[in-house]
A and B are shown apart, each in its own frame.
Chain A
């Protein structure tokens, strides 16, 4: 079975700092990768996704992620975080039957104003 690892459980940054959240997955075949975000009091929503093509994917709100196949990684980045980016971020890989997602355990980001 596939699995996803997020090594940073809790990250605290000041506004304008750069962000990189790690994500590693365990599947060796063709992968579809995602980052979901959950803002306080809200539901999970899609931040960005990778299916194929350019390994550098751009999402909403200035976020981007880079797929590095050789490292089985899909790290999330943002050059300059804002207080409104405070949320929990989940990396996910789509299952082999394309009917389910495997989620990481999440990273809580706290941005101090």
Chain B
């Protein structure tokens, strides 16, 4: 069965450092992968989408890589700030029809 794995333990880093979050998947070859941010008690917010033919995508302080051979995506936040503290979810379209399957998310805590 398809599986999406994200680090279950919270990632604690200091302000100004680069945060790197991992998303691994098995038994599937997705056409694209997405990253969302979720704050406590709120709905997820879309951050970035990367397609299978793209190695890297950037948006301001965010960078996503997509290695279809390793079946892995890395999500980087450079010059992290306490306001970046949230849970970050990766998602794949496994079923088709643009229905997403989400990982459980990784909580990021950025301390001043």
Bind each other: no
User: Which residues of B does A touch, CB under 8 Å?
Assistant: none
